[in-house]
Amino acid sequence: MSVVTNTTTIGAIDLPSRRNTELALLGFAVAIPVFAYLNVGLALDGKVPAGMLGYGVGLGLLAGIAHLLVRRFAKYADPILLPLATLLNGLGLVLIWRLDQSPRVIAKSMAQFGSYSPDAPKQLMYSAIGVALFLLVLIFLKDHRVLQRYTYISMVVAVILLLLPLVPGLGSDVFGAKIWIKVGPFSIQPGEFAKIVIAVFFSGYLMVKRDALALASRRFMGLYLPRGRDLGPILTIWAVSLLILVFENDLGTSMLFFGMFVIMLYVATERTSWIIMGLLMAVGGAVVVGSTASHVKSRVAAWLDPFECLKTAPEGSNMIQACDQMTQVLMSFGSGGTLGTGLGQGNSDLVGFAANSDFIFATVGEELGLAGVMAFLLLYGLIVERGLRTALAARDPFGKLLATGLSGAFGLQIFVVAGGVMGLIPLTGMTMPFLAYGGSSVIANWALIAILLRISDTARRPAPAPAPSPDAEMTQVVRP
């Protein structure tokens, strides 16, 4: 809150921009993945990997350009977010490259498709696109409040994005979940982008409606119930998230949107009753869907006791597959133990398909162990908390809500994915931001970081110096 004090008459104290801190941290964020890369190469082939220099220079270049542009266009931005994202993205590339080398994966692909193409180069390209988008956002989005104008357009865009996978011919069904669309050679997961767009809509909408939602309510059984016309959009969101779940088999995305909305409602209205209502609606939705959709049912069974469910599940059902995956992931984590087997020396590719996307965290668990997983969780936690710190510091309600929504969604996604993979909650099939293979995810998350940086830049930017006050002149001491 120190920022607020700057608007008093004491005058503007130039906050340190912390750009050099960011540069130093970026040095680490590049060096650590480069060493990890070396480590994998040595473990797998016993020699320094061929692409070592290119990889190091490439990652360094991406980070360097990003840093210079932040210096130029968002001087006061949070100094930790960019290094964190760079580190995670870099380590993700190493992990994907490591899984690419798995002879089992290669043999399986050769047997199935007769060819094999590694994912790491593609991911590197996506990362470059992601950083490019990050820079574009920083350059062209001079002030995040501009987004406020597009509140209702955002809603339309978000709905379209979410419904695209259901369009026949465009959407593609991958292992039961209809969350991809195919455009030429690329498959895009529109849900990842919808996450950002919908946060913009919620922020704009709630900023306008917060008073109505907070105050114009009737007390009923200890809860403050809003008026019907204010409640409408909320019920709509709830219904939409249920529909996504039912038609696209995407438990994760619907949980994410709904959770994000509840968080933002709570922050906007400062009323606890929203949390309670949100929870009730979420539980209601989960019960309805959980008892009807077989997809969800098998995941719940796999969550409760994967080893037992593997024995009791009917032959050839998707429950077998879900339970088998869960046991493989758990055994992967267990085999890693406290310190892990070391990069390149585990067998996390046994998890099967999606080892480098949905289940990449299992590789972290097996090869870097408990220590590595905790480090990763803390890195993610830091991103979330820096985002919320940005929200606290933001001076405009729209920025506050947007930063809250984005970092809340990020935090929820971490929880849903890591919790699912580690068997804390039922698995939902989302991916670890930055770490997992997937173009949409990397690109969208870089954009998310860019928006957070922009908000933090505005928040930490010193207020313009107060206009010279005529009264101050009067108190001047006139020297003889």
Partner 1 sequence: MNKPLRHIAIFCGLLVLALLIRDNWIQYVRADELSTHSSNRRVTIERYASVRGNIIVDGKPITGSVDSKDPTYKYKRTYTNGPMWAPVTGYASQAFDANQLEKLNDGILTGNDDRLFFDRTLSMFTGDKKKGGDVVTTLNGAAQKAAFEGLGDKKGAVAAIEPSTGKILALASTPSYDPSSFAGYHDKDAKAWQALEKDKDKPKLNRALREIYPPGSTFKVLTAAAALENGKVTDINAATDTPEPYLLPDTRVAMKNHARGCENATLKYAMEVSCNSVFAKLGHEVGRDKMVEMAEKFGFNNAEIDTPVRAATSVYDKKMDRPGNALSSIGQFNTNATPLQMAMVTAAIANDGKLMKPYMVDELRSPDLDILEKHEPEEMSRPMSPKTAQLVQEMMESVVNSQVGTGGKAKIDGATVGGKTGTAQHGELNKARPYAWFISYAKTDNGSPVAVAVIVEDSKATRDDISGGGLAGPIARDVMKAVLDSKK
* Residues contributing to the site for partner 1 (CB under 8 A): 1, 46, 102-104, 106-107, 263, 266-268, 270, 307, 310, 327, 330-331, 333-338, 347, 350, 365, 369-370, 373-374, 377-378, 380-381, 384-385, 388-389, 391-392, 397, 400-401, 404, 407-408, 411-412, 414-415, 418-419, 422-424
Identity (one letter) of the amino acid at 191?
Answer: G
Nearer Cβ to partner 1 (246/350): 350
CA distance to 80, 394, 403, 405, 465, per residue, from 452 (Å): 11, 11, 6, 10, 25
Q: How far is the CB of 447 from partner 1 (least distance, A)?
A: 21
Exposed, middle or buried, 51 (CB in 10 Å: 0-12/13-18/19+)?
middle
Q: How far is the CB of 195 from partner 1 (least distance, A)?
A: 16
Q: How far is the CB of 191 from partner 1 (least distance, A)?
A: 20
Nearer Cβ to partner 1 (56/408): 408
Q: Is the dihedral of CA 17, 18, 23, 25 positive or negative?
A: negative
Nearer Cβ to partner 1 (54/381): 381
The pairing of beta strand 223-226 with beta strand 217-220: antiparallel
Nearer Cβ to partner 1 (134/380): 380
Q: How far is the CB of 278 from partner 1 (least distance, A)?
A: 12
Nearer Cβ to partner 1 (77/412): 412
Nearer Cβ to partner 1 (157/286): 286
Q: How far is the CB of 102 from partner 1 (least distance, A)?
A: 8
Distance CA 21, CA 205 (A): 36
Identity (one letter) of the amino acid at 243?
Answer: L
Q: How far is the CB of 410 from partner 1 (least distance, A)?
A: 9
Q: How far is the CB of 166 from partner 1 (least distance, A)?
A: 30
Let me know: does 70 contact 135? Beta carbons within 8 Å: no
Cβ neighbours of 470 (radius 10 Å): 7
Cβ neighbours of 282 (radius 10 Å): 17
CA distance to 68, 92, 440, per residue, from 130 (Å): 16, 14, 9
Q: How far is the CB of 385 from partner 1 (least distance, A)?
A: 6
Let me know: does 22 contact 64? Beta carbons within 8 Å: no
Q: Helices H, strands E: what count in the chain?
A: 18, 5
> Apex CA 55: angle with CA 51 and CA 58, to 5°?
140
At 179, which helix (H) or strand (E)?
Answer: strand 177-183
At 322, which helix (H) or strand (E)?
Answer: helix 318-336
Nearer Cβ to partner 1 (162/199): 199
Cβ neighbours of 37 (radius 10 Å): 24
Q: How far is the CB of 179 from partner 1 (least distance, A)?
A: 23
Question: Among candidates 410, 415, 416, which has minimal Cα distance to 452?
Answer: 410
State the residue for tokens 């928040």. Answer: 459
Nearer Cβ to partner 1 (105/450): 105
Q: How far is the CB of 230 from partner 1 (least distance, A)?
A: 18
Nearer Cβ to partner 1 (62/330): 330
Nearer Cβ to partner 1 (127/217): 217
